[in-house]
Amino acid sequence: MFRRDGLSVLALSILLLLAGCTAGISPTTQATESTGAGSLEQGVTVTVIKVTDGDTMDVRFANGSEETIRLLGVDTPEVYAENSPSEWEGVPETQAGRDWLRQWGARASEFATSELDGERVEIRVDPQEDRRGGYGRLLVYLSTADTERSFNYRLIERGYARLYDTPFTERDAFVAAEADARESGTGVWSFGDEIESQTASSIQDSPLELVEVNADAAGNDNENLDDEYLVFENTDPEPLEISGWTVSDSAGHTYTVPDGVRLKPGARIRLVTGPGSDTQSALYWGEDQALWNNGGDTVTVRTANGETVLKQAY
């Protein structure tokens, strides 16, 4: 009798163990697909709690579980990593091309944030595509209540993204939308004319010059923020008031010069990434991590009125 009970307990334990370790199903997946508010195939309502970039977000389900989702079929330019212009037809394999893609990566992130952050949206998976990508993120179409097309499609249509070519159900519609955007020079596909226009007309004459960029701090950049800096110089024979001017990188990080900063003729001022107390010769951005990419970035300076006075790649 004791032996039979022992075998029964052992068999039950094995069954429970196998049930929890079914191939391809993680505890997070089980929680996600048992929300009680529909299935991922038909569509589930979630809340966007964080926008990482134009095609990646964190969402919360009705049952409180959270997932990182990746929008299916689209690829927005990278903001936090290097881009490969060869993947974007018409964008040259140059620093200007990489700067252009990073700029549009930041714009795609801003668009996604303005449209989705904090909003209730619907997500669904595609029967022809894997549920999860290589990083374990849930691959989905995302839709908002006020539009008929998915947000994925809208990114393609508005030139914020290119087609990420896999065999998903709506591939043909996405291919057509990308072709239309490229033909009309929409968004990221407008490289060339817009670059020339920016260079010719949007940059105003200014005596402020960028004379030094120290993007690669000694040691670990994130642990030596005092050694990551820009140096600007007033090349005019008159004093230059720069209060309220902004300095930005390609990802859209922006510093605003505080009140009372006035450069004498020939004076230089250093903008340090890390925290510190401002002086006549140094300003401190106050960031807790490195900003300027060691492999190249673009420094943009605008006046308090928003006029671009300096745009320089390094």
Domains of the chain listed by start with CATH number? 27-196 (2.40.50.90), 204-313 (2.60.40.1260)
> Beta partners for 60?
47, 66
Res 304: pLDDT: 87
Query: What tokens were used for 290?
Result: 């490195």
Which residues of the chain fall below pLDDT 50?
A: 1-31, 33-37, 196-201
Q: What is the DSSP letter of 132?
A: B
> What's the gap between Cα 149 and its chain centre?
22
Res 27: pLDDT: 38
Res 305: pLDDT: 81
Res 203: pLDDT: 63
Which candidate in 67, 70, 102, 132 is catalytic?
A: 70
CB atoms within 10 A of CB 74: 25
Res 66: pLDDT: 97
| Cβ–Cβ under 8 Å, residues 288 and 226 | no
Which candidate in 33, 66, 78, 241 is catalytic?
A: 78
Q: What is the distance between the terminal CA atoms of the chain, rounded to a whole angstrom?
A: 80
CA distance 74 to 56: 10
Phi (first) and psi of residue 240, to 5 degrees: -125, 115
Q: What is the maximal distance between C-alpha atoms in the chain?
A: 102
Res 138: pLDDT: 96
For residue 70, what is the enclosing H or E element? strand 66-71
Res 279: pLDDT: 96
CA distance 101 to 92: 10
Is residue 78 flagged as an active site residue? yes
Q: What is the CA radius of gyration of the chain?
A: 25
**Does residue 241 come out as left (phi exceeding 0), alpha (psi in the -120 to 50 range) or beta?**
beta
Which candidate in 137, 162, 182, 302 is catalytic?
A: 137
Please tell me whether residue 60 adopts helix, strand or coil conformation. strand
Res 176: pLDDT: 97
